[in-house]
Chain A
Amino acid sequence: MSDFLVDLSQHPVFRQTVKQLGLPLPMPEKLRRARGPWEDRPLADRAVVVFTAGGALGNTLATALAPAGAVPHVVGEATDLRPFLSPGEAFGRPPVHHAPGASPPEDLRAHGLVFDATGLRTPAELRALYDGLHPFIGALARCGRVIVLGRPPRTASQPAAAATATALEGFVRSVAKEVGRKGATAHVVYVAPGAEARLTPLLRFLLSDRSAFLTGQPWSIDATAADAPETPFAPSYVRPLEGRTALVTGAARGIGAAIAAHLAAEGARVVCLDRPGDETPLAQVAAAVKGVPLALDITDAAAPERLVDFVKDPAGGGGRLDVLVHNAGITRDKTLGRMSPEYWDQAVAVNLGAVVATTTALLDEGLSDDARIICLSSVSGLAGNVGQTNYSASKAGVVGYVRALAPLVAGRGITINAIAPGFIETRLTAAMPAMTREVARRLSALGQGGEPRDIAELVTFLASTGGKGLTGQSLRACGGMFIGA
């Protein structure tokens, strides 16, 4: 799907003209997206500025950045540099020191600004956020990243500390809207005490080009999902899904096909499921990802049982399922007064009923310990929409399901999360009326729609071994959409 304005905005003459004439035309920046499978050094030679601010995550940041290829710039006291020295030596990325309060050197294009706010406990201390980022925000590169790290508000011992931690969320939402014009994004990551090791994979993901369309998002890292005693947390960053089997529903086209392709590219064996009637495109997707097609109506009463049988079949799922992606979804739009009962039933059955029924059956039999479950929700579902009472109810239900199920399966090391996509350029959105589509695209921090692969990148990250720190969460993949916050 081509976005005319994004293409045009690449043209320097056009940019110049719009600027000089002061035209109220949005000029969305073309997002830099990753190509091909995960790389060992996703941040090769990118400058990442770390603001230590008396926080607790200096060691974690030091051991995360240099192996990923980033060149750390440390703003803080000279002693804050210490953890960065040894990784810098081993990976040839010695840290660059900046005194607190100093302006950045003129030639610095910072790909990332990472602020460790875990040390901030009072509203007055929030000032450190301003003091640190105010001079550096101008040095943020196009398609750069601003990441603020904090402690979860619920672990705060004082209400003031909880307020301070929650303030970070409002801060990054506004930053996201300010830097979105240059394709840059902003996030806050809450790291529970004791879960620091699980931050590294998320940090790599968020700083990489694979998170291009995610912004203004709070993330929580905790130790809820348990590690088996004999297998300590050891994320792999190249082919992270090798030896894993994944099931993707609604895989015949659009986002589902992209998810299947991305999971397969990282080494997963993918079972591609879609409804009977779509066998042809389904077979094509399955062939392209060297996976297994499965035509099955997931709303059928016998579907959970058939799914379990298929997973156990050596020629089907191969015995056990490690990644379950509930992507299948339908809309049956009508205002409540005009909606037929069939419309209500169909939307709720596919979007929510089948998710609960199949997950329940597979948790009993089929899903491995340490499995990853990812459900697709929807931003417009969460925000509510005229004519979508059935759709919104089902997509909001997914959020509640994920939140409630996460603690119940955490003991087995299983995680479950929801992703709420915003405006994604697919067959469905291409069929929208032109003006509606244009408005939907522009009403976001990044001023453009996402691509199916943006969702697939997030699914792949959550499915990886390194995604273990996240569970029970609903994550928006919406380019900072203005609605539904």
Chain B
Amino acid sequence: MARSSSSSQSAGARARARRAVIVGGIRTPFVKAFTDFTKMDTIALGDAAVAALLDRFPVPRAELDALIWGGVILPGAAPNVGREIVLDLKLGAHVEAMTCTRACASGLQAVTLAAAAIERGEADVVVAGGSDSTSNAEIKLPQKWVHALAPLALGGKPKPADYLAVLAQLMPITDLVPTRPRIAERTTGEVMGEAAEKMAARNEIGRAEQDEFAARSHHRAAAAIASGRFDEEVCTVVTPDGGKVYADGLVRADTSVEKLARLRPVFARAGTLTAGNSSPLTDGAAAVLLMSEDKARALGFTPRAALRSWAYAGVDPADQLLMGPALAMPKALARAGLSLADVDLVDMHEAFAAQVLSILKMLGSDAFARERLGRDKAVGSVDPARLNVHGGSLALGHPFGATGARMVTTMTNELVRSGKETALLGICAAGGLGAAAVLERIG
């Protein structure tokens, strides 16, 4: 059962020879699905973020090597969103591009792929990021339609009898209704909220704790917006109908534990998860500019932070679906040669308040450390003062593919502004996956 994390050294040490650095990042405002960005698909959102990034950090186009993009709901007709962005923005045909998907960790995956490519010497300048438009999720046509109609559509000259045969195949008619996309696990059929609801029960996380955490996320995000500190990382987006979107649309400065306590549970009748302590469906995009350290200096940019380590982990979805970061974060810390107490900031993706609080509990548990991590002592506790200092996905929203790049951007800026040294990132993802990374300030 116990897993050892001893083999995990070295990735950081080995990479020092050629370091990938973060020059800067930017994101679109995050807005509720089916509001301002309804007419913009994930490619259009990506276009907006990357265009803004290259406005703020004007890289000579000839220097740009690659674009790596993360996304979860990919458009069926153009799944390589990254390449579409390059072509839309005319960044230059030479800018090769890919699109990766690792559920909610897709954005961080894009960033670490970019860092790995730079550190291997495959590229010097890479744009990495991610986007998602829940408003443009494709309604899925049941496979039965596709298979039944294929002979008519693709099979030469159909006779009347062929049409009848197709009709016969299409019974019963209820199988043919297009289905709404659900954020459900393919293996267990469980909706993510139900999984988080179970985690709340199993880790004994109460409703009041969750609401308190959610309220804090909103208050901190609102304070960050009010202070103007997000101005350097949020761009203005012009929508197709000419409107301008300047600011995040989901943060509620005026919410309170009392208001959140009035909401009804949404995933189970006697549950504790509400719309208030779960992250909402969101449209948005975020992009990060990474370079090799030498190239950044040669082009006159200031390297601001580097990825000291990262780690991914997988657990049985039937175990606790969203516990992945409880395994990935200790792994990334070990690779960075740090303990949890050493890091100055912790930034966790807030899929659900219950999920963050569950993971914090696991990190603080000796029993968990013994059985699941093969170490004697708990990983450690996280002081709320250094956790998600400018709010998180509960308040800001969670465009699946964008969240990782948003967190990298915000934490890079926070390290630079505060002069602190290190930040630990943790993201949970569908399929029982966890992602983590350690950022360190440069200079």
Contact = CB atoms under 8 A, between A and B. Distances in A.
Contact of A87 (B198, B358, B371): B371
A44 interface: yes
A86 B204 CA distance: 14
Given A67-B1, A92-B203, A44 B365 contact: no
A94 B203 CA distance: 7
B316 interface: yes
B199 interface: yes
Interface stretch (B105-113, B156-164, B231-239, B317-325): B317-325
A41 interface: yes
Contacts of A45: 198, 318
A92 B202 contact: yes
Interface string A349-392: 00000000000000000000000000000000000000000000
B37 interface: no
B319 A86 contact: no
A93 interface: yes
B370 to A, nearest CB: 7
A90 B202 CA distance: 10
Given A45-B198, A67-B1, A90 B318 contact: no
Contacts of B319: 40-41, 44, 69, 91-92
B229 interface: no
Contacts of B116: none
B204 A94 contact: yes
A201 B314 CA distance: 24
Contacts of B203: 92, 94
A90 B316 contact: no
Nearest to B190: A45
B202 A94 contact: yes
Contacts of A69: 318-319
A73 B198 CA distance: 16
Interface in A22-65: 39-41, 44-45
Interface residues of B, number: 18
Give the interface residue-count category, chain A: 10 to 19
B372 interface: yes
A93 B202 contact: yes
B367 interface: yes
Contacts of B213: none
A93 B320 CA distance: 10
A430 B318 CA distance: 38
A219 to B, nearest CB: 24
Interface string A81-106: 00001110111111000000000000
14 contacts: A40-B318, A41-B318, A69-B318, A69-B319, A85-B367, A87-B371, A89-B367, A90-B371, A91-B371, A92-B202, A92-B323, A92-B358, A94-B202, A94-B204
Given A41-B316, A44-B318, A86-B367, 8 more contacts: A39-B318, A41-B319, A67-B1, A67-B371, A69-B318, A89-B365, A89-B368, A92-B358
Interface of B: 1, 198-199, 202-204, 316, 318-320, 323, 358, 365, 367-368, 370-372
Closest A-B pairs by Cβ, 4 of them? A90-B371, A92-B202, A44-B318, A86-B367
Interface of A: 39-41, 44-45, 67, 69, 85-87, 89-94
